[in-house]
Structure 1
Amino acid sequence: MAGWRGRGLGLAGQAAFTLLALALLVGIAVYALPSPSHEGRPPGLTAEVLPSPAPTRIGINLFGLATFNRQQVFSNLILQSEWFSSRGDGWTAFPSEQLDPQGWVRFLRPGQTAPRPLVLPPAPFHPVEIGCRFEGRGLIEAGGLARLRDRTAHGFMLDMAPTGAEEEGAWIELAETDPQDPVRNIDCRLSGRPAAERFSPEFLSFVRQFGIIRFLDWQRTNDNVLPRWETRASLQSATQVGPAGASIEDMVDLANRTGADPWFLMPYQADQAYIRQFARMVHDRLAPGRTVYVELGNEVWNSMFDAARQAQQEGMTLGLGDGDPMRAQMLRYAQKLRDAMRIWTDVFRDRPGRLVRVAASQNAWPDLATIVLDDEDTVRWIDALATAPYVWMELDGYGVGDVDRIFARAPAAVEATIADALTHKAIAARYGKRYLSYEGGQHFVTANLDLARTLQRDPRMGRLYRDYLAQWDSRIGGELLLYASTAPVADYGSWGLREYAGQPPGEAPKLRAVQQFLARRP
């Protein structure tokens, strides 16, 4: 997520950028960006001679795998959750020392049980039957919507009748497990689904609409963990939402199954060995003809994220940026970006045309992009500059009665966003690089959930998306990755193109607008 559109801009930067945006809005024809400091690069481009828009490719950022996101990704209904610990008075985090290397419970302490949420199947909602099987010896119960019956030594059946209510849930609960032969390899899936089926058919059908898949939230990139290759998630892991995020195998296989190009984010703290092994696995597992996009971290310019704060501290410690903290932060990012992209370049040396190395920057702060691209030989190791062109509005102080006023401002907000993107397209072109988006769409964030629901479900939100996509297509072009796939309306943002899996497009104006745009593409 991009966070606040103007975060960190400063008064001088805001003033300068406001003048630039106004100039573009009123159609000043001869706006030239300043020339870079390195000799031998093309001169600054004017707005009139920007590269013609390439055909638009719509991609999607997959929202996180947590069960509350209301998207069944895996046919095994437990893979999108983790164990909790309970003693009858609420749930707490399960102690890691009680788990085996794959994430199965090794033992329970006296009085302790281990609940495990189930992801709800997609709409249309109706009573469903779920078959569960497991290895080992123990006792499993069920709760919430799940009703257990027909227990055997290594399995049981669940009846579940979801309605789509926001607060409903279901879970299994490990009540007993034999430490000598613990319960493991639990698999709970809708009756009739093949045992070898990895992904939910509804999820595959949804993802096939998009040409590129970005795995930001599946990788839990914003957690900024120190990754270890030996503890990464695998296809055999008990969960795909642990600290290591989803398995690389699952992400590559999803791209292969849907015919999409994958977009990966290298953890900011990853060492060179981890990055090389990651790149090698992608290289060897990705289907022929697919292209892989790769970037370092997520929004290392954005101080709301831990990696950005770490980059600034490291940059200042290294004496970068002549004492300017933000410049030090971006120069440190440029250093680590080059290191990561050298490795991917080497691994993909046999098919360089199937690798897109991405430098990311802030859509409303063009100076950040030039800091990165001007530093040493960064431009040698990247293929594209990307920003997150969100349509942003400040909603503090607005209520449901202000919806008409908010949507009346939408055309100007779309125009301002496209103007920002045009600025970065010009910067990218000056360095001989492509411009694309790593995230995009609406950025209407409010803690007023009544207002949020009203805005997101209003048909005018669909019109905003149609205008946004048309403007991108005619003036920018190329890759536009929307944020995000499926997620409920929440006080941290209403990011999903739909609110739950299986939601009819007629009830999801953003998704409907995107599908209409895709239907018109050749």
Structure 2
Amino acid sequence: MFLAESRLCQAISIAFAMAGLCLGSNSAHAQTRSGVGLNLSGIAYYSPALPTIDQFKLTDKWLTQCGGEWQPVEIQCAPEGDQNKVIANWDTGEQNKLDLDENGWVKRLPTANSSDKYRYVSALLFQENNRSHVAGNYTILYDGKGKISYGLNFTVVSQEQGKDVVTVSNTRDEGLLISITQTDPTNYLRNIRVIPPGGVCAKKPEVYADSAAKCTDKTGPFVPFTDTVGQKTWHPAFLADLKGFRTLRFMDWGMTNGYVDPATWAPKVQPLIRWADRPQDSHAFWASNKGAPYTAMFDLAASAGADPWINLPPQIDDDFAIQFGQLAKRMLAPGHDLILEYGNEPWNGMFPATGWYVEQGQAKVARKEWDDKHEAWELGMNWHALRATQVCQLVKSQFGTEAKRVKCVMNGQASWTDLARQYLDCSMASQSDLGGKPCSDYMDALAIAPYFGDYLSSINPDVRAARQTWYTQKDGGLSKVFEELLGEDAKGNAIDPPLLGKIEDSVKGGAIELSRKRTESSYALAQSRGLSLFAYEGGQHLVKIPSEWVCVASGTQDSDSCGKYEDANALENDQNWVPLLIAANRDPRMAKAYTRFMQKWIDEKAQTYLFFNHIGTPGQYGAWGLKEQQFSNDWVKWKAIQPYRKGDCWWAGCVP
């Protein structure tokens, strides 16, 4: 698509081209380059981030569905049990039965007498996305012959061959369901695009205009998105947010941490192994379990004037790394570097890749390549470090004399410096595979995640008791949260944090001072290995209190006979703690916390700092987003980081 866009750009008017309407007008390269970067929110139908103009790209899969008795007989579910009763099925889980083309479009549907349960397929958009999408008329374009119907939150305005217009509101949590109920196998429905309302002004094509009323004689006539189909990929409101950041990290775009198998609910490692199976920009969905296309990542980074930080999947083979390196060499914008990371948080047992790394290390032992005198986690750690080194060298080799444009990072844990040391030394891999050289010799930076405030949700009894007293205060505990984060009272006077002495993590100066101490230790380690220190993620880390499951049935604690468990912390989370953490993230004092936190990072001489993350809906799993919705900038954390986004980098030798 991006090559096609370049040809289309050459064909449109000179006025539009000069104004930078097309991708590839690297005007952003001339701007000041800051020292901060941004983790992008994952692409998903439920995300409040809307990166693409074609919003069908935000879907992740086809739902295999069949309808109830109110539906036409050809798409009804086959009767089950009671042969006179037809029950609708939201998802029959038969995705493996779909007949798809190379881009994921459905080539045929089951006939009425098929043994398959499903009768049609659907894609879901905007569901539970914090009502972040724009309300108004959406234009649905498609190729081929068949029948498309709509469900949930919609009103049909018009329908004609190849083009439907539906009104979608954002006053309810329901999204838009797009269903293919009939398709011609000889000319099947495909290339569905969902174009939102709004557009740009002709002379200001980088600025989003929600209607023609926003355009004036100075800015030129209104150009709706429907007039630029195939010419622009990125929503201008999304792209405007990204300009000024030094680096964009695509970890969640690449589904690096794996996915949950919808059939078994088991966590699975991101499945990419061969380059031929990588996502393509022409694919129907960009939110599948393989992630978004690398071409899109490079293009977005170039359009924003940022270095792409790309995490390669754990299981890739050597050819994948080589082919990726060749693509990176072609697409990396002039004057920019590729930040390369293999996997993400290899030490984090919550992600399925960690166990997979251990299996690979154990296989080395089974083959007698490594000795058997090490614990399983050490084997996994060494294998990840070795593979990170190999992948780094394969990618760098494709850049030839420009290999320095690839900056390889090793992921470490901010609170456990010795773990990062062991990754960098990789003693087993060093002795057996690297000729005695440590893995750090092949890296350019150590990357940590210096969050602050994680321990406030501890299940430590003393911390739990302290929280109970916070909730009784007039502000529900907000002042106590910030006393712990900042180590000062409401007037700015230094005080002992409320949890000091109750938990090891609480130190004089508060949670932000603890993060500084961790950074200091990691910086010393990086310096000792001749590496830079980056923050791959960071910011506040207020999350729900971990679940503690207790048996509440039959008065027994016998796990084999207990019929019912309850989360002992659910009530505190629901009624007190989660509302408090959300309120804290919206409180003006959080801006002060971010400012102080960033100053301490800068004072420690550390380098590029990446916030986690761009846009997100706050809830029990955290309030990670600097913004909660795309089309508003009035968010405390977002406003707090603007001086760093708009300022110069700060370390010796940095190039603004």
TM over 0.5: yes
Q: Which has the higher contact order (CA 8 A, sep 6+)?
A: 1
Q: Distance in 2 between matches of 1:179 and 1:231?
A: 24
What code does the residue aligned with 2:621 have? Answer: Y
Judged with a 3 Å threshold, the aligned counterparts in structure 2 of structure 1 residues 273 and 125 are, in CA distance, closer, same or farther, namely closer
8 Å Cα contact 1:425-1:435 kept in structure 2: yes
Matched, 1:389 2:450: yes
Identity %: 27
1:33-112 superposed matches below 5 A: 57-81=35-59, 82-88=61-67, 89-92=88-91, 93=93, 95-98=95-98, 99-109=100-110, 110=112, 112=119
Find the counterpart in structure 2 of residue 184 from structure 1.
190
Deviations 1:57-77 (A, max 9, x none): 110111110121111111111
Q: Distance in 1 between matches of 2:44 and 2:53?
A: 14
In the alignment, structure 1 residue 138 sits paired with structure 2 residue 158: no
Indicate how the Cα distance of structure 1 residues 123 and 417 shifts in structure 2: closer, same or farther if over 3 A, else same.
same
2-side partners of 1:499 and 1:290: how far apart?
29
Cα gap change, 1:181 to 1:509, in 2 (>3 Å): same
Please state how far the C-alpha of 1:520 moved relative to its aligned partner. 4.7
1:419, distance to aligned residue in structure 2 (A): 0.9
- Post-superposition Cα deviations, 1:151-179, rounded to whole Å, max 9, x if no partner, equal 1121111112224x5x2322222121122
Confirm whether residue 513 of structure 1 aligns to residue 640 of structure 2: yes
Paired residue for 1:297, among 339, 343, 350?
Answer: 343
Gaps of 5+ in 1: 1-54
Against the structure 1 CA distance between its residues 90 and 509, is the aligned structure 2 distance closer, same or farther, given a 3 Å change threshold? farther
Cα gap change, 1:441 to 1:90, in 2 (>3 Å)? farther
1:4-49 deviation per Cα after TM superposition (whole angstroms, max 9, x unaligned): xxxxxxxxxxxxxxxxxxxxxxxxxxxxxxxxxxxxxxxxxxxxxx
**Which amino acid in structure 1 is aligned with residue 179 of structure 2?**
E
TM superposition shift of 1:309: 1.4
Residue equivalent to 1:9: none
What is the SS of the residue equivalent to 1:69? coil
Shift of 1:325: 2.7
- Following TM superposition, by how much is the alpha carbon of 1:79 offset from its aligned partner in structure 2, in angstroms? 0.5
For residue 405 of structure 1, the aligned residue among 453, 477, 480 is 480
Map of 2:354 onto structure 1: 308
TM-score of the two chains, using structure 2 as the length reference: 0.67
CA-to-aligned-CA distance 1:349-382 (integer Å, 9 cap, x gap): 2212311111111111111122122232212211
Q: Name the structure 2 match of 1:277.
A: 323
Deviation at 1:85, TM superposition (A): 1.8
CA displacement at 1:436 relative to structure 2? 0.9
Distance, in Å, in 2 between the alignment partners of 1:462 and 1:393 is 20
Separation in structure 2 between the aligned mates of residue 94 and residue 290 of structure 1, nearest angstrom: 44
Q: Please tell me the residue identity of whatever aligns with 1:494.
A: A
Deviation at 1:150, TM superposition (A): 1.4
Which residue of 2 is the match for residue 195 of structure 1?
229
Computed over aligned residues only, the root mean square deviation of the Cα atoms, in angstroms, reads 2.2
What secondary structure, in the 3-state scheme, does the structure 1 residue paired with 2:359 have?
helix
Q: Per the alignment, do residues 199 and 96 of structure 1 end up closer, same or farther by CA in structure 2, a change over 3 Å counting? A: farther
1:209 aligns with 2:244: yes
**Partners of 2:144 and 2:285 in 1: how far apart?**
18
Q: Is the 8 A contact 2:271 2:289 kept in 1?
A: no
Q: 93-102 or 230-239, which moves further after superposition? A: 93-102
Secondary structure at the counterpart of residue 486 of structure 1:
coil
* Letter matched to residue 426 of structure 1: A
> Do the aligned residues in 2 keep the contact of 1:56 with 1:473 (CA within 8 Å)?
no
Q: Residues 219 and 245 of structure 1 are in contact (CA less than 8 Å); yes or no, is this contact kept in structure 2?
A: yes
CA contact (8 A) 1:439 1:480 kept: yes
Query: Which secondary structure does the structure 2 equivalent of 1:476 belong to?
Result: coil
Q: Is the 8 A contact 2:132 2:630 kept in 1?
A: no
- CA–CA separation in structure 2 for the residues paired with 1:221 and 1:520: 30
User: Does the aligned pair in 2 maintain the 1:56–1:478 contact within 8 Å?
Assistant: no
After superposition, what is the alpha-carbon deviation per residue over 1:227-263, rounded to whole angstroms, capped at 9, x for unaligned?
1322211111001111221001100000111100001
Instruction: Go from structure 1 to structure 2 and tell me whether the alpha carbon gap of 1:119 and 1:126 turns closer, same or farther (over 3 Å shift).
Output: closer
Once the two structures are TM-superposed, the CA of residue 452 in structure 1 deviates from its matched residue by: 3.2
Moved more, 189-198 or 131-140: 189-198
SS in 2 for 1:477: coil
**Residue 424 (structure 1) shift:** 0.9
**Amino acid corresponding to residue 387 of structure 1 in structure 2:** I
C-alpha distance in 2, partners of 1:345/1:285?
14
Tell whether the 8 Å contact from 2:255 to 2:290 is kept in structure 1 after alignment: yes
Q: 1:68 to 1:358 in 2, by over 3 A?
A: same
Residues 1:123 and 1:209: Cα distance change in structure 2 (over 3 Å)? farther
C-alpha change, 1:195 and 1:421, in structure 2 (3 Å) is same
Which SS does the other structure have where 2:373 is aligned? helix
Secondary structure in 1 matching 2:57 = coil
Out of 299, 309, 324, the residue aligned to residue 375 of structure 2 is 324
Matched, 1:225 2:270: yes
Q: Give me the whole-angstrom Cα distance separating, in 1, the residues matched to 2:181 and 2:585.
A: 42
Q: Deviations over 1:250-309 (max 9, x none)?
A: 000001111000011121111100111111111111121110000111011111111111
Instruction: Output the amino acid matched with 1:425.
Output: Y
Give the Cα–Cα distance (whole angstroms) in 2 for the partners of residues 73 and 520 of structure 1.
25
Q: Secondary structure at the match of 1:478?
A: coil
Which runs of structure 2 are paired with 1:396-475 in the superposition (5 Å)?
Answer: 396=458, 397=464, 398=467, 401-411=476-486, 412-446=510-544, 447-448=573-574, 449-475=578-604
**Distance change in 2, residues 1:327/1:233 (3 Å):** same
- The structural deviation recorded for 1:56 is 6.6
Q: Which amino acid aligns with 1:335?
A: L
State the Cα distance separating 1:504 from its structure 2 match. 3.1
1:122, distance to aligned residue in structure 2 (A):
10
1:124 is displaced (CA, Å) by 8.6
**Which of 287, 312, 317 is equivalent to 1:241?**
287
Letter matched to residue 299 of structure 1: E
> Which residue of 473, 483, 500 corresponds with 2:612?
483
Q: TM-score, normalised by structure 1?
A: 0.84
| Cα 1:348/1:142, change in 2 over 3 Å | same
Which protein shows a greater Rg?
Answer: 2
The count of residues paired between Structure 1 and Structure 2 equals 464
Q: 2:421 aligns with which of 362, 365, 370?
A: 370
